[in-house]
Amino acid sequence: MIVLLSFIGLIVLLIAGFLFWISSNSYKPPKKEILKLTHQQLPGFLLSNRLHLASWNIGYAGLGKEMDFFYDGGKETIATATQSDNYLKGILNILKKNESIDIWLLQEVDKKAKRSYYKNEIEMIGKNLPAFNTVFATNYKVPFIPFPVLQPMGEVESGLMTMSVYSPKLNNRHAFPLIAVWPDSLFLPDRCFIETRIATRNGKELIVINTHNSAFITDKKLMDKELALIRNLMMTEFLAGNYVVAGGDWNMNPYNFIPAGEFNGHRYVPSSLIMNKSFMPSNWQVVSDNKVPSNRFMDMPYEKGKTGTTTIDFFVLSPNIKLNKMITVDLGFEFSDHNPVFIDIELTGVY
């Protein structure tokens, strides 16, 4: 009995010590933080009223077509080293082929993580696209994630990355509310969005928001709080006469989303969350491509027509912005569990 009690005491002590260590090293970002801009000096104002933007959750180059994921009903945690290398090579190639894009909004970019074999993806993407300025906001920083027990995810430092052919006036990180209480909060992302401000020639500014909203939400009130933070900033800036674009991985379907035709041969499954129609006034545009899915489910390796797919990556545009074109590029989820989405827009009254 004494041996058993000693063993139980040791286990409790180890767990308490582990939680103390994690708590002591927990990432505690402020509600608002100015982000450092990297790379070179580029034009400080828009050279044209026409812009091309793209958003892509690259899945930290670890969620390609061969992968499933334990958080989404699958079994795997980490891709093999060869798979990870191939996924990242493919992602870098797609980015390089689209250097004509003015602003890239990327999500799930790893800085230092076991799951991506400690590759600094920020640095590698920056070197791959040297003509862009970049800014990075951490939204997931944990020294060790012990789940699943038999194949723990380990250390993770990851976030959002905005790339631009301009030199923004300012880049801010805005924190979303915490999605859980202690101790669960120690092992989950600290969600956020990036606000990027670029000057225009008419004295106004283009405000670009790069967001990655919470997934696996059981409390709809949390979703509403996240959307309210974005909405408040967007409305404030538009009422001040500025132009506003918000894009990224919203982790929810746009309201009234209905796939067109055969969804390019994919099996459509609605998201468990749907954006409320009242999110923005009716003169704002929520734009998505209903012909091609932007995201696939991770309960199984990808198989076209069998794996569930949906659309959770899209853009929201202020009324003073004209949409010319919006497309989702079907990459067959070869390198990530998301497809990139592209928009062609015009700002009215700039020139």
> Mind listing the pLDDT tens digit for each residue in 129-161?
999 999 999 999 999 999 888 889 999 999 999
Q: How many other CB atoms sit within 10 Å of the CB of residue 19?
A: 13
With pLDDT > 90 as the criterion, what percentage of the chain qualifies? 77
Closest CA to 292 of 270, 264, 324, 251: 264
pTM exceeding 0.85: yes
Give the domain extent around 111: 32-347
The total number of structural domains in the chain stands at 1
**Mean pLDDT across the stretch 32-58?**
93
Q: What is the band of 16 on the pLDDT scale with cuts at 50, 70, 90? A: low
Does a structural domain hold residue 15? Answer: no
Confidence band (pLDDT; 50, 70, 90) for 15? low
Q: Which residues of 159-195 are buried (b: 16+ CB within 10 A; e: fewer)?
A: bbbbbbbbbbeebbbbbbeebeeeeeebbebbbbbbb
For residue 3, tell me if it sits in a domain: no
Of the pLDDT bands very low, low, confident and very high (cuts 50, 70, 90), residue 19 is low
Q: Is the peptide bond before 143 cis (omega within 30 degrees of 0)?
A: no
Residue 132: alpha-carbon gap to chain centroid: 19
Taking residues 98-110, report their average pLDDT. 97
Give domain status of residue 307, yes or no: yes
What is the structure's pLDDT at 266? 98
Average pLDDT score, the chain: 92
CATH number at residue 84: 3.60.10.10
Q: Kindly state whether residue 91 falls inside one of the protein's structural domains.
A: yes
Q: Is residue 50 part of a domain?
A: yes
Predicted confidence (pLDDT) at residue 270 exceeds the cutoff of 90 = yes
Q: Which two tokens stand for residue 181?
A: 């209480």
Q: Is the dihedral of CA 246, 248, 250, 254 positive or negative?
A: positive
Q: Give yes or no for residue 14 having a pLDDT over 70.
A: no
Structure confidence at residue 221 (pLDDT): 77
Q: Is 67 helix (H, G, I), strand (E, B) or coil?
A: coil
Range 50-76 average pLDDT: 95
Residue 205, token pair as written in the block: 């500014």
Position 149 scores a pLDDT of 80
Does residue 326 fall inside a structural domain?
yes
- The pLDDT of residue 124: 98
Residue 111 resides in a domain? yes
Cα dihedral sign, 218-220-224-227: positive
Is 266 part of a structural domain of the chain?
yes
What does the alpha-carbon distance between residue 341 and residue 315 come to, in Å, rounded to a whole number? 9
Is 70 exceeded by the pLDDT of residue 325? yes
